[in-house]
Structure 1
Amino acid sequence: MTGRLDGRTALVTGASRGIGFQLARLLAAEGAHVIAVARTVGGLEDLDDLIKGDGGSATLVPLDLKDMGGIDRLGGAIAERWGKLDIFVGNAGRLGVLAPIGHIEAKTFEEAMTVNVTSTWRMIRSLDPLLRRSDAGRAIIMSSGAAHSCKAFWSLYAASKAAVEALARSWAAETENLPLRVNSVNPGATRTAMRAQAMPGEDPKTLPTAKEVAEKILPLALPDLTETGRVFDVRQNRFLNYHMPD
């Protein structure tokens, strides 16, 4: 790596596995100090071992994103220790269940919305002041093609990802005159545990690895990025513009 993020601080949610794990490792390899957030302590420790082996540094934060007070305290701790934040990757998410709308249990619906949407908003609220203090704040919000395809039985996940895209686009509009750049990412089908849960009959070897996908997302964290309020499609390796006129 080239040290393009030397001296910068990055927070990654869902960092214990999959795309979040690999992106956290790449950010650290580029010189960023990574604040790795996830529920799974073992996965975070594995990440820390790899980051240290690569010569990087990380702070591990075991946190269930349903703990809204914990998210608020995390923002305060970052402010106290670093005074600002340069990169936020909102990657954590739940698939919920693939089922007809009328068959989704309320508890399942509410839990997926809490993790995918409410916690993302709470993170934004907590971290926005810190990202504004950066000379090149970058926010990367993980979305999905499901937000636009809206296939049968995918209503819960699709609705949650459409919601976080809307949050990201509004946030980008509010900050377009600042150095902060906010974009969403559609990673496409990726060899992850969530994909295996959604598509149990699929051959994972036909899909790109989480590392391959993370490598294409990494440029969105760099200080020279100019795009904001857009959706980056990993498979096409380019920004799409879903903006609709008022």
Structure 2
Amino acid sequence: MSGSRLKDRIALITGASRGIGRATARLFAREGAHVLLLARTQKSLEAVDDEIKAEGGKASLIPLDLADGKTIDALGPSLYERFGRLDIFIGNAGILGGLRPLTHISSKTWERVLAVNLTANWRLIRTLDPLLRRSDAGRVVFVTSSRAASRGRAYWAPYSVSKAALEALAKTYANETADSTIKVNLVDPGATATAMRAEAYPGEDQETLQTPDEVAKVILGLSLPETKASCQIFAVDR
């Protein structure tokens, strides 16, 4: 353990098995949080769990496909029974869906990207809101891509649309919780060395990019009880 800024806080992180989610989970655990690791496969989560526990941290695993709406809906009641509250929700998980012309995108790809990147976060807000309201300082951070969201990038249609809608969703939730102790923000990582970035830019030298650990530090700052910001987008570009 290296700190105590999140001592005894309960934090749910989606997409926790790799990249920014993994880095955030490990950092939160080092700061004293009990991290709830959510990703699609049990095996990938176990590797992160091993890393966290090797450093003296605490974690619980939630293998869950974010396209499975009914399972998401049951998550809040399940966590309430075990923990009684949730202090932090990090909506990090996202998929690219491939890069191709808008008219060449299959309905299956379109629907899955929107389900994982957008609809899952709406369902998570809905099921987790009662738990966040039981925290003395509920914190919500979504990972976005403002370039994709605002520019309508050619060949990125499902991803761009999902991120534009995610930003609207997050800001709506921030405004609806403005009179509560909940704070809601977004982080735009920019060019970061992740598997998704490598998929989108296969010839790029990832050694020139910022690391997931750098992004995790910004997410940590927005997750602290003393954070006052809400309804904002924070860019992490160097």
TM-score interval (norm. to shorter): over 0.9
In the alignment, the residues of structure 1 paired with residue 217 and residue 225 of structure 2 have an alpha-carbon distance, to the nearest angstrom, of 16
Partner of 1:216: 218
Question: Does residue 35 in structure 1 map to residue 36 in structure 2?
Answer: yes
Report 1:16-165 matches (<5 A).
Answer: 16-145=17-146, 146-165=148-167
Partner of 1:172: 174
In the alignment, the residues of structure 2 paired with residue 106 and residue 157 of structure 1 have an alpha-carbon distance, to the nearest angstrom, of 14
Question: Does residue 182 in structure 1 map to residue 184 in structure 2?
Answer: yes
Letter of the structure 2 residue corresponding to residue 29 of structure 1: R
Q: Deviations over 1:134-183 (max 9, x none)?
A: 11000001111211222211221111001111110000000011110000
Aligned residue-pair number: 236
Is the CA contact 1:100–1:152 (under 8 Å) kept in the aligned structure 2? yes
Using the TM superposition, name which of 95-104 and 106-115 deviates more: 95-104
Letter of the structure 1 residue corresponding to residue 208 of structure 2: T
Letter of the structure 1 residue corresponding to residue 225 of structure 2: P
Residue identity (%)? 55
Is the CA contact 1:18–1:192 (under 8 Å) kept in the aligned structure 2? yes
In the alignment, the residues of structure 2 paired with residue 223 and residue 16 of structure 1 have an alpha-carbon distance, to the nearest angstrom, of 25
In the alignment, the residues of structure 2 paired with residue 159 and residue 16 of structure 1 have an alpha-carbon distance, to the nearest angstrom, of 25
In the alignment, the residues of structure 1 paired with residue 136 and residue 87 of structure 2 have an alpha-carbon distance, to the nearest angstrom, of 8
Q: Deviations over 1:18-70 (max 9, x none)?
A: 00011011111111101100012222111111111111100001111111111
In the alignment, the residues of structure 2 paired with residue 128 and residue 93 of structure 1 have an alpha-carbon distance, to the nearest angstrom, of 21
In the alignment, the residues of structure 2 paired with residue 92 and residue 26 of structure 1 have an alpha-carbon distance, to the nearest angstrom, of 17
Is the CA contact 1:217–1:234 (under 8 Å) kept in the aligned structure 2? no
In the alignment, the residues of structure 2 paired with residue 137 and residue 163 of structure 1 have an alpha-carbon distance, to the nearest angstrom, of 22
In the alignment, the residues of structure 2 paired with residue 183 and residue 215 of structure 1 have an alpha-carbon distance, to the nearest angstrom, of 14
In the alignment, the residues of structure 2 paired with residue 193 and residue 35 of structure 1 have an alpha-carbon distance, to the nearest angstrom, of 22
* 1:102 shift after superposition: 1.1
Task: Identify the match of residue 232 of structure 1 among 227, 231, 234.
Answer: 234
Letter of the structure 2 residue corresponding to residue 169 of structure 1: K
4+ residue runs over 6 A deviation: none
* 1:212 shift after superposition: 2.1
| Alignment TM-score, normalising by the size of structure 1 | 0.93
Letter of the structure 2 residue corresponding to residue 83 of structure 1: G
Partner of 1:8: 9
Question: Does residue 193 in structure 1 map to residue 163 in structure 2?
Answer: no
Partner of 1:242: none
Letter of the structure 2 residue corresponding to residue 199 of structure 1: Y
* 1:213 shift after superposition: 1.8
